[in-house]
Structure 1
Amino acid sequence: MKRMKLAFLFVLLISFTEMAQEVTGTVYDDQNVPLPGASVQVKGTTTGAITDFDGNYSIEASTGDILVYSYVGFNTQEVTVTGNTLDVTLQAGLELENVVVVGSRNANRTSTDSPVPVDVLDVTELVQSAPQVTVTEILNYAAPSFTSNPQTISDGTDHIAPAALRGLGLNQVLVLINGKRRHKTGLVNVNRTFGRGSVGTDMTTIPSNSISRIEILRDGAAAQYGSDAIAGVINIVLKNTVNELQVDVNTGAHLTSEHSPQKKIDGEKVSLGLNYGLPIGKDGGFINFTGNFSHRGWTNRMQEWEGSIFNSYNSIERVAAANNYDTSLLLDDDLADIFQ
């Protein structure tokens, strides 16, 4: 009996050793330089570790487990544990080729290296996945800090929708095109609309199918770009594709319910956009053309009215009753004679 117990404890000790052994190693980049702060995790579990300043790590894992190595800017790599020591070399990834212009004086920096957060919106994907057409509609849909609403009965503001960031003034948002300042409009909003008394930038004049991506910088914008960027910076990066024709067609309308007296359609919206680029020279030059046609129909949700327009509260009957006249038996002509 004692021999069976000893054998059982010996097998249990071996199993425990196989299940929990300390695996150590070093994580290098493709230049054979240790990577501090790299993540090492046992796949399928919550067990993980972070490399120190010398790229060294230590983690509890068993033989046959898969360790997942990841680091910002490098391709994730999976390695099976075969011993107590495991050194790994990570290769630089290609997913960070998208260079962000705003938020840094260094053009070589990417969004992950910028000192402040930068929102990067892929307009091509947004146009395909969301029912939005213009630039302001796309930003309203994708950027929580952006505000722009069409105005009615407000003079020129009907045609130029005010756009703002973080609820601040229109003239406190700096709009860039490929990193260059975009001019503001000559319209001063004065009709009690959003942004009254200020002048903004008309972004609806930029066709959405000519845009590759939109970068939004909110924090620290004024420190780099000046007081006209207190609310933030919106940088619109145009497409640079060549020998590629892109056609975008969007349409929609509002259909009244079947219970309405008159069934009709209003609010029609049609948009047609074309984009094509031509190469210039042998050094990567190009010229990109974009054309856009947009039509928005009128909207009227008022159906035929069948009730009374005036009632006893705001009509002449109220005045007559206040002067002790019994209007229940009087005709319109009689009321006219009373108040002549």
Structure 2
Amino acid sequence: MWKIYFHKTLMMGALTSVAAFSYAQETKKDTIKTNDVEEVRITVGSRNKSRIVTDSPVPIDVLKMSELAVSVPQTDLTQILNFVAPSFTSNSTTVADGTDHVDPAQLRGLGPDQTLMLLNGKRQHSSALVNVNGSPGRGTVGTDLNAIPAFAIERIEVLRDGAAAQYGSDAIAGVINLVMKRATNKFDVALTGGGNASDGSNDHRGGWDGTKTQLDANYGTKLFGNKGFLNVTGSFNWRDGTSRATDFNGTIFNAYNSVERVALASGNNITSMFSNINALSTTQQSNLFNIIKTSANQVGYFTSAQQSAIQGANTLSAMQSALKFDTSLDELKARGLQRRDFNMRVGQSRLSSTQFFVNSEYPINENNKFYLFGGYSNRDGNAAGFYRRPDQSRAITSLYPNGFLPEIASRVIDYSVAGGFRGKILGFDYDLS
């Protein structure tokens, strides 16, 4: 919600008018009365309430999770920040190896390693993943924010501009401080679910995909002697993958793959012989060429010109040239396959996660407290790489005649704990952790 105040401008205008009138009419009695200036407030349509702390000496945004829970259609910490903090960016990637499972988080467009992440004011450790692909934050290591359940957070503080300079060079972009819940005598449970239904779902075949179910629970209680607090959060998440790929329309099979299929049916693995052709004797090379030519004669859709080129090839270079033409349409029919069978998986990864976090504090005396917080996160993910098509050299067609789609399975285990004492000694504040 945007709020514009006019009362200061109106006050200055009123005082200026009084001064001008008095100067021009010095001999007359001033009959102007001072009127109370009302505060004029204009509200401009916006779904986001003001999040800027105006009474702070440093530029800081404070985002209350209790408000975001009912106004933001997101449950992941990175996506919540992406939705409400203009300077924050975190995009899920696809076909980017490990980055499919750990979302890089950035402030002001700078690298993930230039944003300092704090949990209860303490530095949070970085992820073990180095972004080495063409994804945001390439070559950097950031903090995995999705290892922390949003349900465990009470508020998010974002320090911007020069306010972050006090934290050093790893806070050039800014500082994000996640403040955990401290509530007691309260039990909260949230069950959320959703998915995507559109014509683009499931490789543009329609229907549902990306179904997500999340169960969160939070409980807080007082500790011994009805002092301090212990706040515990559990989060369980199940997410299906999505794919927005279209049917692949490039070359899938060439003439070599066609000949190889026929040769394999006869018990001849020409790929293993071709890969070691320089180690074959002259007789063995001649036998290989004979197998290729015999198998080519059994491919019914080769034209007479194509057959002639294959049968007349007596050198390796001539044979390779004769077998490189595209046979995708005919070979797909021969193998009972469709182009969609060779699509990549372009979309979010599959995910299941279990997370437990604890925040606690106990007063030792009037001026000193002991605190302990931390958590454990276990996430299993599944994404995919580029399809290894049969016509490509990186496909092992002797084992996978139709090529294969490599899957990238991940297990991200993240845990941390911080504890210490804080209070006052001889009038000085201290914090040992």
Query: 5+ residue gaps in structure 2?
Result: 16-31, 41-50, 256-300, 311-433
Match 1:336 to one of 278, 290, 306: 306
Amino acid at match of 1:164: Q
User: Following the alignment from structure 1 to structure 2, what is the Cα–Cα distance between the partners of residues 301 and 40?
Assistant: 50
Give the number of aligned pairs: 235
Would the aligned equivalents of 2:201 and 2:242 in 1 still touch at CA under 8 Å?
A: no
- Describe the shift of the 1:154–1:301 C-alpha distance in structure 2 as closer, same or farther (beyond 3 A): closer
- Which structure 2 residues correspond to residues 15-34 of structure 1 after superposition, within 5 A? none
Would the aligned equivalents of 1:275 and 1:290 in 2 still touch at CA under 8 Å?
A: yes
Would the aligned equivalents of 1:221 and 1:229 in 2 still touch at CA under 8 Å?
A: no
In structure 2, the residue matched to 1:244 is: 186
Deviation track 1:157-206 (CA, whole Å, cap 9, x = no partner) reads: 12111001001111111011111111111211112221111110011011
Q: CA deviation at 1:253?
A: 1.0
Amino acid at match of 2:63: L
User: Following the alignment from structure 2 to structure 1, what is the Cα–Cα distance between the partners of residues 241 and 139?
Assistant: 28
TM-score scaled to structure 1, two decimals?
0.60
RMSD: 3.7
Please say if 1:155 is aligned against 2:97. yes
Q: Which has the higher helix share?
A: 2
In structure 1, the residue matched to 2:196 is: 254
TM-score scaled to structure 2, two decimals?
0.48
User: Following the alignment from structure 1 to structure 2, what is the Cα–Cα distance between the partners of residues 293 and 301?
Assistant: 26
Amino acid at match of 1:209: F
In structure 2, the residue matched to 1:60 is: 34
Match 2:214 to one of 264, 267, 271: 271
User: Following the alignment from structure 1 to structure 2, what is the Cα–Cα distance between the partners of residues 175 and 274?
Assistant: 24
User: Following the alignment from structure 1 to structure 2, what is the Cα–Cα distance between the partners of residues 174 and 151?
Assistant: 22
In structure 2, the residue matched to 1:190 is: 132
Query: 5+ residue gaps in structure 1?
Result: 1-38, 53-57, 71-99, 101-109, 317-330
| Higher relative contact order structure (alpha carbons within 8 Å, sequence separation ≥ 6) | 2
- Which structure 2 residues correspond to residues 153-232 of structure 1 after superposition, within 5 A? 153-232=95-174
Deviation track 1:95-132 (CA, whole Å, cap 9, x = no partner) reads: xxxxx9xxxxxxxxx94332221111111211211210
Would the aligned equivalents of 1:124 and 1:209 in 2 still touch at CA under 8 Å?
A: no
Would the aligned equivalents of 1:273 and 1:290 in 2 still touch at CA under 8 Å?
A: yes
User: Following the alignment from structure 1 to structure 2, what is the Cα–Cα distance between the partners of residues 244 and 194?
Assistant: 40
User: Following the alignment from structure 1 to structure 2, what is the Cα–Cα distance between the partners of residues 112 and 60?
Assistant: 30
Q: Percent identity between the aligned chains?
A: 45
Farther off after superposition, 116-125 or 231-240: 116-125
Would the aligned equivalents of 2:81 and 2:88 in 1 still touch at CA under 8 Å?
A: yes
SS of residue paired to 1:141: helix
Please list every run of at least 4 consecutive aligned residues from structure 1 whose deviation after the TM superposition is greater than 3 angstroms.
39-42, 46-50, 66-70, 110-113, 256-263, 281-284, 307-311
Match 1:114 to one of 56, 75, 78: 56
